[in-house]
Amino acid sequence: MLRTGKTTYIGSPHFLDYNDVDILDNLPSPRLFASHMTFDRLPRQAREGKGETDLFANVTKMASFLGVTYDKPFLEEVTDRCTFKTMVKTIIDEIKPQDQEYIHKVSKEKKLPIFRKGEVGDWKNHFTVAQNEAFDRIYKERMRNTDCKFRFE
């Protein structure tokens, strides 16, 4: 949105994870990249759930980095469009009719399973008893030789 000056989603910046270094090096500066960074690599504030508490300030910093200037209402709208709640609503509202059949195959609800809260124990809202029992069997088998411990509740 900061690159295009529009508050509609047009496309992601280049992903660090899926592009050759040569392609990334040849992009004009300033560059803006996306990444599927693992949780342990995120900044401490984001890991502690404080990443969203000052989203407007971060949107403003990114605009400055990109060398673009927008008025406060535009930056506030970009900020709102980047909240978890709005992204979930947007994906629901913008599902194309031709995608409905596919979506109903992967989700009981009219939404793509793209955005998740990431809350410990939320699996209870999605798994049936049978699915949970199947998961437990597979998990015990595949994790039997590891000391890794995960919180499920």
Chain segment 94-137, per-residue pLDDT in tens: 767 676 676 666 666 655 656 666 778 888 887 889 999 999 99
Measured over the CA atoms of residue 108, residue 110, residue 114 and residue 116, the dihedral's sign is: negative
The residues near 14 (Cβ < 8 Å, ≥ 6 apart) are 23, 24, 27, 31, 33, 34
Structure tokens at 141: 């088998």
- Residue 152: name the closest of 140, 14, 141, 75 by CA: 140
**How much is the pLDDT for 50?**
61
- pTM for the structure as a whole: 0.60
Structure tokens at 36: 């599927």
In a 13 Å sphere around the CA of 136, the CA atoms on its Cβ side amount to 9
Higher pLDDT, 108 or 14: 14
**How much is the pLDDT for 20?**
86
Q: How far apart are CA 23 and CA 97, in angstroms?
A: 35
Tell me how crowded residue 144 is: count the other CB atoms within 10 A of its CB. Answer: 7
What share of the chain in percent tops pLDDT 90?
29
pLDDT exceeds cutoff 60 at 150: yes
**How much is the pLDDT for 114?**
62
